[in-house]
């Protein structure tokens, strides 16, 4: 039985309303694009919100240098097809400038380093609103996030002093130097995003679908053994498995899941029956129970 999609329509209407508020209330908005399904969904919503006019803000990708190659190819094709403006800023540059230090060891990841590059880029372009694809169902700290979330000069999130959001009214008033993180798909769940991708027939990178990949196992999770980005001990054996990725972040913190879902409808089915949460495959959240809250206070997206 196909589920009634009218609740997705109401989520879509809400998100389009938020996109338009951003364009109207801010001078220099930007859409933070990671190449993942959530930010691809945001692009679709932005295109629909302003049709027949063009999307009135650029996309920005904070490239960790550890992205899946499929994601980058996809990104470049998407902006070309839709005629969008794309800004790329590299974590490697922040490392070269000595602003951040590369982590080392088994669990080394560039995920945390992104924050510095992001904050620098916000300052460079004087962005006053950054649209992101975070959802409240992802994680406990994100469940408390506002749709318009004010960040201070240091990009920090003051979780105990958030502006109340009433009815549909979004208060985007800020002082110079502050910026607002905007989350149009706050109220969507992972399944909602996938159902929307299916309904709208949105193209997504191939790594979201089941494919053969060289992987190795660690801590009960499946890691990509291709491209040499993820640190692997010699005794960690390389296997070939049918896998797909549920989230597409930095390769070094994104684990794969076993899957034979080769189409969107199969993926939707798989997620509906899944008993593991989406971020269960994100090692960055496993560092401590409050991992996300801490990163958000520091300005993480």
Partner 1 sequence: MEVLKIATAGSVDDGKSTLIGRILYDTKSLTTDKLEAIEKTSKQRGYDYLDFSLATDGLVAEREQGITIDVAHIYFSTKKKSYIIADTPGHVEYTRNMVTGASTSQASIILIDARKGVIEQTNRHFFINNLLRIKDVVVAINKMDLVDYSEEVYNKIKADFSELMSKRDYQDQKITFIPVSALKGDNVVNKSDAMPWYEGEALLQHLEDLDKSDIFNVGTPRFPVQYVVRPKTEDFHDFRGYAGKVYGGNLSVGDDIIVLPSKTRSKIKDIYFYDEKYETASRRSSVTITLENDINVSRGDMIVKENDLPTIDKQFTANICWMDSKQLTPGTKYVVQHGVNKVLAKVDRINHKINPDYSGIEKDVTGLGVNDIASVTFKLNKPIFYDQFKNHRTNGSFILIDAQNNNTVGAGFIQ
Which positions touch partner 1 (CB under 8 A)? 3-4, 6-7, 9-14, 16-17, 20-21, 23-24, 47-54, 136-137, 139-144, 159-160, 162-169, 171, 173-175, 186-187, 189, 191-192, 274-277, 280, 289-290, 293
C-beta atoms surrounding 280 within 10 Å:
15
C-beta closer to partner 1: residue 28 or 163: 163
C-beta closer to partner 1: residue 101 or 160: 160
**9-15 own/partner pairs: CB under 8 Å, 24+ apart:** 11/185, 11/187, 11/188, 11/192, 11/196, 12/45, 12/48, 12/196, 14/184, 14/187, 15/45, 15/184, 15/185, 15/188
Cα–Cα distance measured from residue 221 to residue 218, given in angstroms and rounded to the nearest whole number: 5
The least distance separating partner 1 from the CB of residue 174, rounded to whole angstroms, comes to 6
| Token digits of residue 80 | 């070309």
C-beta closer to partner 1: residue 24 or 238: 24
C-beta closer to partner 1: residue 112 or 116: 112
DSSP assignment string, 60-78: EEEE-S---HHHHHHHHHH
| Token digits of residue 251 | 């390769």
Cα–Cα distance measured from residue 233 to residue 236, given in angstroms and rounded to the nearest whole number: 5
C-beta closer to partner 1: residue 73 or 173: 173
Residue whose tokens read 């620098």? 120
C-beta closer to partner 1: residue 156 or 187: 187
The least distance separating partner 1 from the CB of residue 200, rounded to whole angstroms, comes to 10
The least distance separating partner 1 from the CB of residue 150, rounded to whole angstroms, comes to 8
The least distance separating partner 1 from the CB of residue 57, rounded to whole angstroms, comes to 12
Q: Determine the 3-state secondary structure of 39 from DSSP.
A: helix
The least distance separating partner 1 from the CB of residue 87, rounded to whole angstroms, comes to 23
The least distance separating partner 1 from the CB of residue 155, rounded to whole angstroms, comes to 17
């Amino acid at each position: 039985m196909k589920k009634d999609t009218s609740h997705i329509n109401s989520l879509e209407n809400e998100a389009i309303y938020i996109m338009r508020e951003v364009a109207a209330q801010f001078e220099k908005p930007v859409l933070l694009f990671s190449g993942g399904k959530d930010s691809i969904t945001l692009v679709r919503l932005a295109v629909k919100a302003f049709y027949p006019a063009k999307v009135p803000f650029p996309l920005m990708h904070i490239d960790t240098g550890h992205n899946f190659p499929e994601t980058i190819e996809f990104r470049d094709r998407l902006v070309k097809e839709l005629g969008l403006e794309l800004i790329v800023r590299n974590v490697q540059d922040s490392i070269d400038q000595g602003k951040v230090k590369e982590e080392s060891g088994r669990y080394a990841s560039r995920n945390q380093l992104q924050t510095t590059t992001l904050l620098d880029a916000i300052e460079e372009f004087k962005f006053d609103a950054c649209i992101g694809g975070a959802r409240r169902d992802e994680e406990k700290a994100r469940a408390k996030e506002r749709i318009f979330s004010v960040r201070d000069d240091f990009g920090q999130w003051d979780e105990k002093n958030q502006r109340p959001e009433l009815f549909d009214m979004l208060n985007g008033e800020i002082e110079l130097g502050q910026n607002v993180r905007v989350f149009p798909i706050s109220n969507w769940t992972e399944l909602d995003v996938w159902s929307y991708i299916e309904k709208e027939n949105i193209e997504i990178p191939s790594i979201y679908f089941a494919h053969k990949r060289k992987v190795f196992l660690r801590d009960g999770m499946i890691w990509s053994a291709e491209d040499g980005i993820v640190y692997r001990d010699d005794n960690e054996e390389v296997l070939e498995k049918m896998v797909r990725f549920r989230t597409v972040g930095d390769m070094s913190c994104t684990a794969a899941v076993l899957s034979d879902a080769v189409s969107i409808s199969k993926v939707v089915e798989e997620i509906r029956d899944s008993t593991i949460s989406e971020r269960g495959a994100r090692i960055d959240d496993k560092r401590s129970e409050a991992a996300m809250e801490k990163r958000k206070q520091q300005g993480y997206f």
